Amino acid sequence: MTTSRTLRDRLVDRLVAERAVTSAEVEAVLREVPRELFLPGVPLELVYADDVVVTKRDEDGRALSSASAPGLVADMLRMTRARPGQRILEIGTATGVNACYLSRLVGPEGRVYTVEIDPDFAEGAGRGLAAAGADNVVTVLGDGEYGVPEAAPFDAVEVTAQAGDIAAAWLDQLNPASGRLVVPLTLRGLSRTFAFRPEGDHWVADEQLPSGFVPIRGEGARAQRGIALLGGDEAAELRVDDDQPADAQALRAAFAAPAHQEWTGVTLPAHDRSLLHLDFWLAASLERYGRFVNVGPSVGAGPGPLGWTLPFGTSATWDRDTVAYVTLRQNGLTDFELGVWAHGPRRAAMAADLAAQVRHWDRRRRGGPEPVVRAYRAGTPDHRLAPGRVVDRPHTRMVIG
């Protein structure tokens, strides 16, 4: 029989070989902590796969909580820069395994405060933490929106659920000189985990990575708007956030006519990550930006009436009655060409404009640094913001520079 220790080492060996784990401290805690203590009843082969383990779903089948893929967990632990003796605040205890990793990183002189809104999860995590001997972890039942003010300040805050904003309490409770905030944010429809550090009167993200988490619950919950554009076998929707205006009825009507297609001549090798860079660059550049998601059964099967898009969506823009989105087609055996398809009265002009943006990115921006994201307190006047696309949220003014 394959033991937990063997499977754990095999998983970590693979993550190290793939450069998903680059920190010796994080590698050590991944090898040390028995994940099965936090996932009772889950087969060991799944416990030690580099994949998400969903632990609770709602009545519609949507995930309410999960244990994140170990590779992503490792990356976020590295981003927190947790060190012996530090105090860490975790928002979203879930299974408790991440709090246990943090407890090992801060050591017996450190403390981890982890906040969980669901009493069932808090109780289950408490059992796992006790079994693992993580007696430097304090589990708090409550809404993570408010943190744990009586235990502040913290050297780092790590959020393990998809947030729509940065809660004021997280910023208030960070060490003002050196505290780090690691948080998965949905920003203009894009899901990224950012690591923020203080810089003067605001915070700047010095690291980011693509990710996706179960949405945060409680007072901080912020729903993304999904506009159904087409039903039936080729179901598709436009996903919009940041209160951007979008006339659902007019945009649905646009799909009554075939798309105008414009191919850009810009190619990407298979598995190339440049598309993620393009998405973020377009999110900063376009006045209106969202995600076009083909949710029908033909996703990934090849071009159809809506073109070929990826399962997690592609960049899109729109006006009152016209919508355009990035699509792909195969170019040779391994490459893909980027194109733009548009529907509505101004489809040719909008397709040409978006295609021009893609070509500009290819000539001038491709391979360059990611756009820089800065977070300012809500109410900060415009003249004190860095240049860039401003995204206003209840607690913050985000600037994509």
Task: For the chain, count helices (H), then strands (E).
Answer: 10, 19
Dist CA 118 CA 115 (whole Å): 9
Strands, DSSP E only, in 40-163?
Answer: 53-57, 63-67, 87-91, 111-116, 137-141, 156-159
DSSP 8-state secondary structure symbol assigned to residue 361: I
Amino acid at 63: A
Neighbour order of strands in the sheet with 190-199:
137-141, 111-116, 87-91, 156-159, 180-187, 190-199, 202-210, 373-377, 396-400, 389-392
Q: How many CB atoms lie within 10 A of CB 381?
A: 8
Enzyme catalytic residues: 68
Residues 290, 279: Cα–Cα separation, whole Å:
10
Run of H or E including 102:
helix 97-106
The whole-angstrom separation of Cα 25 and Cα 101 is 10
**Burial grade of 269 (CB within 10 A; 0-12, 13-18, 19 or more):** exposed
Q: What does residue 318 show for φ and ψ, rounded to 5 degrees?
A: -160, 165
In the chain, the amino acid numbered 376 is Y
Among residues 11, 82, 69, which one has the least CA distance to residue 39?
69
Q: Which residues have CB under 8 Å from 320's CB, separation 6+?
A: 247, 250
Helix (H) or strand (E) holding 249: helix 248-254
Tell me how far CA of residue 200 lies from CA of 55, 80, 374, 390, in angstroms: 40, 20, 11, 18
Among candidate residues 296, 298, 144, 279, the one with its CA nearest the CA of residue 221: 144
